Structure 1
Amino acid sequence: MNQHGSTRVENPQGFIHTGPGNIYFNSGAHPQDSNKPAFRRVAEDQLHWLRLMFVDPSGMGKARAVLAGTGTVILDGVPGSGRTSAARVLLHERRRDSGVFHELLPEEEDELALHDPDLVGIGDQLLLDLSTADERQWSTARMDLPALRKAVHEQHAHLVVVMPHDGALEPDLQSYRVTIRRPSGRQVLRRHLRMRGMPYEQYMRSDVTVDEFVAVERPMREIADFADLVRRARETARPDEGFAQWCATAKRARNDRRREVAARVTRLPEAPQRALLITVSMLYGAHADVIHRATQLLLHALRSPSDEVPLLQHKDLAERLTEISADTGPSGHVRFAELDYESAVRAHFWDHMPDLRPHLGTWAASVVDLHDPHVAPAVRDSLVAHLAGEYLRTGRGDGLASLAERWSTEAPSRARLEAAVQALTCGLEDPAHGREFRKRIYQWCVHGRLRGELAEVLVRICADVLAASHPDQALLRLYYLARRERDPAQPALQALNDLVAGSRRLRRRLLDRLARYGLAPPDLSIFLRICDPEPLTDSSGTSRTLVEENEVQHSLTTCWHAVLAELPRAMWQPHAARWLHRAADGTGHRGELLLDTLVSAAERCGERRGEVFAALYASAREAEHTAPGGPARSVGTTELLLHKISVAQGLNLAAAPPASAKGTQP
């Protein structure tokens, strides 16, 4: 059955395919990358997998050359030619240690305009996908492209624009335009088969089904789907079947089976039969024990009358599975006899029994909570993905969002929270509903009543999903969550700190936001957490550190003023000590700028400035005893701080402290 927009678990241990052109990775931490925030690992894994599956289309070499030489390339091509995947691969190939991947969304309300220079950070990889834009959207974007390209050039970043096919383009932009033409369908199919573990001697054989399939120019996503059907056909085939039979089975699976399923349902009028049919379709490939228990839970959720027949007179599971054309393999896992039959069954019941839909959410929650060794994470993921797929296929994203909220708030268990995270991930990754889900998550973070464990779910969604492609949106949502946080562990604040740790640009944006709108008590806590002096004075990859930027200096001074004026010294002293230690650690004039910021912030305290100056000086004296480099440098830093305080107070001054006190090597 060929249903675009459905959700399919391709490999529960790795990547999950949730519709045309989008892949997300669901895994635990990678030991070798444990020092990276989770969203960085997710983004890199996504793009790495895409690169492995990718076959270069015609024009890819030229696109690489244009991007390397100018920092910008504009891709054109017919829909289905792989131009969006090509854009992501191009950016993945330009990835550096600095910068983040960022998909630009110029028309969403909480995104910066394309002409805003704050949109681009050092070394960022920017994707502007306007392949489906209308004439107005494309015209507006073209007006902003010169300013965007200038910022990209200045920040040593890289920008790939996917333009509407054969759209208008000004003469000065034509040199950046590269036309992508689809690669050989046969070559793409073979690459996908190889990456899915198909033996070389099998997929290299000539086959009439493959010849017919590749004879038609198809979108790349259809080829990928067909390759996966061949893989699944191989896994369920008899030992005497080979590549030709696998491909023929995959071809039959692409047929529309709605009438076939409708006829079968008519022949199965009893509730237990239909419950088993639904369960197998939603938990396809699960162990027979899970299928049996989940079927009972579905009957209970639907309040079906209990069967009074004695237990030993019941039909056994094997007989009941035969009635719905399913069986268990040698490992005890249940599958339909026909490949991909389960998606047609799901669609039939969802479309033709709409009153069943709300009960399926309650049932799914009870299934993911089952304490059974066969209910592995992959089984739970498969169930949630299939259920989410039906919501999204029929345009009911609001229902899926409400279901995730319910799983997070009504007797939430660890398994239900994982299910809620995955359900929202499916919505975010869906091309037709992604914007709707981003807006819904924003409303929750800013205005929502965060009952139960919804806040935890939102933190994970923002940090591990949204930040991987839309870091600015993740930043704003995590900021609002951190302001409302009541959890002593402060997971939202930690996630926010991890996010800005990977990007100078995002740290600059957060500091600007804190300073621009007035600092309430929650904002002071956020500032103290993210005001680490090391990234502020880090000069790697840039000729100008953050603390040397006038706008950042203004933000830091404003924030420190609020901290010094409103918080007791015990709360800010450890953070001030880190600044003093950094100033003493050989950072030169950048360290002196840290001191200037502290003094300027204290000077703004009006009648209390003398008291605050004294507190700063006392903190500097205390910091001498804990300085990592020993007290010698810190003593000089304290003298320099005292000199700057004296200047601020207009006192008679002796000569300034020697250079060694300014953070240079003694």
Structure 2
Amino acid sequence: MHTSTRVENPQGTMHTGSGNINLYVGAHTPDPGRPAFRRIADDHLAWLRRVLIAPGNMGNARAMLADTGSVILDGAPGSGRTSAARVLLREYHHDTGVFNELLPGERDELSLHDPALVEAGDQLLLDLSAADGPRWAAAQAGLPALRKAVHEQHAHLVVVMPHGGHLDPDLQYYRVEIRRPPGLSVLRRHLREHAVPYEQYSRPDDIVTEFLHELRPMRDIAHFADLVRRAHEAARPEEGFAHWCAAARNAQNDRRSEVGALVTGLREAPQRALLITVAMLHGAHADIIHRASDLLLSTLGPPPDKALLLQQRDLAERLKEITAETTPSGHVRFKELDYDAAVRAHFWDHMPDLRPHLGRWAARTVDLADPHLTMAVRDGLVERLAGQYLRTGRGEGLASLAEGWSSGPPSRTRWEAAVHALTCGLDDPAQGRGFRERIYQWCANRQLKGDFAQVLVQVCADVLASSHPDQALLRLYYLAERHGDSTRAPEALCDLVNSSRRLRRRLLDRLARSDPAPADLVIFLQNCAPEPLTEPAGTSRALVQEGGVQQSLSTCWRAVLAGLPRKAWQPHAERWFHHVAANPGDRAELLLDLLVGAAQQCGARRGAVFASLYASARDAERSAPGDPARASGTTALLLSKISAAQTLGPTEPSTASAREPRS
């Protein structure tokens, strides 16, 4: 068999599977020290479980979900109902099934009426807490069918309904109203998880009492706790809980006029460049702040004339001018908590011409070679810049920025920055849907430059798939079809399909929907392993026993046998023969029926295709594990099915003529 090797960037390797070997090196290879983005999503869910104070009626919701497989959560906004929904489903996370946040109405999302939406063991979240009346009414119409499929598949469904919305009488039984947990308990749980010493927050505090006097939403309490955590980390040894809370309260004040007055007093470009740099890289080491500040000036225009080195003001003096300081560990922070956020908002809102330059500067900054420029510092820079785009509703600008970062010369750090920027967009409650649609358009319709296709593979496989696997499936399919030779898309698609029978069924249906193109046939062969097709899940039939799956397999195999050379499909057919030999029975025998049925549809070429199948089965005997008699019995069974298909009657495999066919 002919093989080829492609070497691109000299930093690392990967192998894409059977067939020709393509070697991808460099920017396409994720840093082995970086946690997978999917694990980041899992870590966030684990964090929710740790900090959640069970709201009122959580026990009833848990019992309803256990008894019926479904629960409809109601509750006032800010009561923690959506976090409770995710935690409830997480308790049913097992080896089977996937977590799927249902998005009825979005592209490639199945209808709630479609039983194919649910597979055994799935954990389904339908968050309609912000839905308007028509959308909620449409969803209710589909809930009975969805609940039926959930019950049949032993899956679990949590619906979060709009507070005060009408609920059909037939669904009232499943409704549980979540009540807001005590605010002080929620705050203390967050502080405990933030490692704030218990003896500090166990005593009453006037600021905490004042803050909790109003019925704060859970997200506001979580934010306040995080501010206290940050104040604690930046505080001097003699400062205690009261000081941390005061700093957290002050950080919530509107500082626009204060920052505006500071900027007005800083007339020189180096001063403002340093102010912006500290705000965007807050907490970074002073060496990074110094280099990045100079880099911002050069990004904006020609560097200013510099005085002799020893005549220049040192960094400490310059930081004092902008109310920042260097900590004993060498890291730079503003003296006031959350002042960096106010500075970022000021420059973004009042100097709009600066925005495109910040994107170019960020790309140059993440490329700096410095031991202090850690992954956390790079990610923080990307998150802060993305935050400004998202805060002001400029998702399209953030998407274009991520595309530009990864469309130029290969750079691992820019590749990671682009992934992180798109992750921020997908996670934004207001603009996540827009980012999902943009990613679809990129994958399906756009010509992608540089590393951007690989960026999209990573985003779909690790970010989108963690909550919206159906959408990830479609986008990875397009990437594998159009960019399979230059990305990890085929491998990522296989990994995703291996996680769910439902996703495998959907991919096979997609591949068989029309005349498969050559790229589709390659994708099919990569995803037609016999084991997941023949293994039943729970009480369900095996996939190969489903009529729709049989039709998809037959259509794809016919196109493969008629359109590809034998050397392309023989290893995959041999794997089917080996499986039949090792697992005799009706389910495995269906694999032979499908192969023979597909060959029979090859028109004038069916005789040659039958001969190639038989020759492949004979070859498979030599490499079959286990009992050789079973392997030869599989070949005999195949030949009898071929003979029946040709209406020749049963034929023994020992005849000379039966041993000869090759193609």
Give the shorter-chain TM-score range: over 0.9
> Which residue pairs with 2:639 in the alignment?
642
> Which residue pairs with 1:10 in the alignment?
none
Q: List aligned pairs for 1:55-74, cutoff 5 A.
A: 55-74=53-72
User: Does the aligned pair in 2 maintain the 1:640–1:656 contact within 8 Å?
Assistant: no
User: Does the aligned pair in 2 maintain the 1:624–1:630 contact within 8 Å?
Assistant: no
Q: CA deviation at 1:607?
A: 1.2
Q: CA deviation at 1:518?
A: 1.9
Q: CA deviation at 1:487?
A: 2.8
Check if 1:507 corresponds to 2:488: no
The one-letter code of the counterpart of 2:437 is K
- Going from structure 1 to structure 2, the CA distance change for 1:499 and 1:67 (only over 3 Å counts) comes to same
> Which residue pairs with 1:117 in the alignment?
115
Q: List aligned pairs for 1:107-256, cutoff 5 A.
A: 107-256=105-254
> Which residue pairs with 1:278 in the alignment?
276
Check if 1:604 corresponds to 2:601: yes
Q: CA deviation at 1:486?
A: 5.0
User: Does the aligned pair in 2 maintain the 1:42–1:464 contact within 8 Å?
Assistant: no
User: Does the aligned pair in 1 maintain the 2:38–2:463 contact within 8 Å?
Assistant: no
> Which residue pairs with 1:633 in the alignment?
630
The superposition leaves residues 517-565 of structure 1 with CA deviations (integer Å, 9 ceiling, x where unpaired) of 2200000000000001110011242341101111101100110000000
TM-score normalised to structure 2 length: 0.92
User: Does the aligned pair in 2 maintain the 1:58–1:181 contact within 8 Å?
Assistant: yes
Q: CA deviation at 1:317?
A: 0.2
User: Does the aligned pair in 1 maintain the 2:639–2:651 contact within 8 Å?
Assistant: no
Q: List aligned pairs for 1:297-316, cutoff 5 A.
A: 297-303=295-301, 305-316=303-314
> Which residue pairs with 1:94 in the alignment?
92
Aligned equivalents of 1:209, 1:406: Cα separation in 2: 46
> Which residue pairs with 1:19 in the alignment?
none
Q: CA deviation at 1:369?
A: 0.3
Q: CA deviation at 1:652?
A: 2.7
Range with bigger deviation, 306-315 or 393-402: 306-315
Q: CA deviation at 1:654?
A: 6.7
Check if 1:556 corresponds to 2:553: yes
Aligned equivalents of 1:385, 1:39: Cα separation in 2: 14
Q: CA deviation at 1:630?
A: 3.6
The superposition leaves residues 338-365 of structure 1 with CA deviations (integer Å, 9 ceiling, x where unpaired) of 0110000000000000000000000001
Check if 1:623 corresponds to 2:623: no
Check if 1:531 corresponds to 2:528: yes
Aligned equivalents of 2:530, 2:408: Cα separation in 1: 42
Q: In structure 1, the residue corresponding to 2:72 is in which secondary structure?
A: strand
Aligned equivalents of 1:245, 1:350: Cα separation in 2: 31
The superposition leaves residues 632-655 of structure 1 with CA deviations (integer Å, 9 ceiling, x where unpaired) of 211111111111111111113379
User: Does the aligned pair in 2 maintain the 1:125–1:158 contact within 8 Å?
Assistant: yes
Aligned equivalents of 2:474, 2:117: Cα separation in 1: 14
Q: List aligned pairs for 1:17-36, cutoff 5 A.
A: none
The one-letter code of the counterpart of 1:353 is M
Check if 1:399 corresponds to 2:397: yes
The superposition leaves residues 271-290 of structure 1 with CA deviations (integer Å, 9 ceiling, x where unpaired) of 11111000000000000000
The superposition leaves residues 223-273 of structure 1 with CA deviations (integer Å, 9 ceiling, x where unpaired) of 111111111101111111111111111111111111110011111111111
The one-letter code of the counterpart of 2:58 is M
Q: In structure 2, the residue corresponding to 1:355 is in which secondary structure?
A: helix
Counterpart pick for 2:453 among 452, 455, 458: 455
Range with bigger deviation, 98-107 or 196-205: 196-205
The one-letter code of the counterpart of 2:345 is A
> Which residue pairs with 1:664 in the alignment?
none
The one-letter code of the counterpart of 2:105 is E
The superposition leaves residues 490-531 of structure 1 with CA deviations (integer Å, 9 ceiling, x where unpaired) of 510100000000000000000011111220000000000000
Check if 1:492 corresponds to 2:453: no
User: Does the aligned pair in 2 maintain the 1:39–1:468 contact within 8 Å?
Assistant: no
> Which residue pairs with 2:661 in the alignment?
none
Counterpart pick for 2:465 among 464, 467, 472: 467
Q: In structure 2, the residue corresponding to 1:206 is in which secondary structure?
A: coil
Q: In structure 1, the residue corresponding to 2:406 is in which secondary structure?
A: helix
Aligned equivalents of 1:274, 1:465: Cα separation in 2: 36
Paired residues, what number?
A: 625
- Going from structure 1 to structure 2, the CA distance change for 1:40 and 1:620 (only over 3 Å counts) comes to farther
Aligned equivalents of 1:320, 1:30: Cα separation in 2: 35
User: Does the aligned pair in 1 maintain the 2:64–2:174 contact within 8 Å?
Assistant: yes
Q: In structure 2, the residue corresponding to 1:280 is in which secondary structure?
A: helix
Aligned equivalents of 1:598, 1:57: Cα separation in 2: 56
> Which residue pairs with 2:439 in the alignment?
441
The one-letter code of the counterpart of 2:201 is Y
Check if 1:415 corresponds to 2:413: yes
Check if 1:590 corresponds to 2:587: yes
Q: CA deviation at 1:656?
A: 12
% identical aligned pairs: 68
User: Does the aligned pair in 2 maintain the 1:519–1:562 contact within 8 Å?
Assistant: yes
The one-letter code of the counterpart of 1:610 is G
User: Does the aligned pair in 1 maintain the 2:120–2:537 contact within 8 Å?
Assistant: no
Q: In structure 2, the residue corresponding to 1:128 is in which secondary structure?
A: strand
User: Does the aligned pair in 1 maintain the 2:640–2:649 contact within 8 Å?
Assistant: no
Q: In structure 1, the residue corresponding to 2:142 is in which secondary structure?
A: helix
Q: In structure 1, the residue corresponding to 2:526 is in which secondary structure?
A: helix
User: Does the aligned pair in 1 maintain the 2:453–2:479 contact within 8 Å?
Assistant: yes
Q: CA deviation at 1:307?
A: 2.6
User: Does the aligned pair in 2 maintain the 1:101–1:124 contact within 8 Å?
Assistant: yes
Aligned equivalents of 2:606, 2:59: Cα separation in 1: 62
Aligned equivalents of 1:265, 1:72: Cα separation in 2: 55
> Which residue pairs with 2:481 in the alignment?
483
User: Does the aligned pair in 1 maintain the 2:85–2:160 contact within 8 Å?
Assistant: yes
User: Does the aligned pair in 2 maintain the 1:250–1:339 contact within 8 Å?
Assistant: yes
User: Does the aligned pair in 2 maintain the 1:537–1:587 contact within 8 Å?
Assistant: no
Check if 1:542 corresponds to 2:539: yes
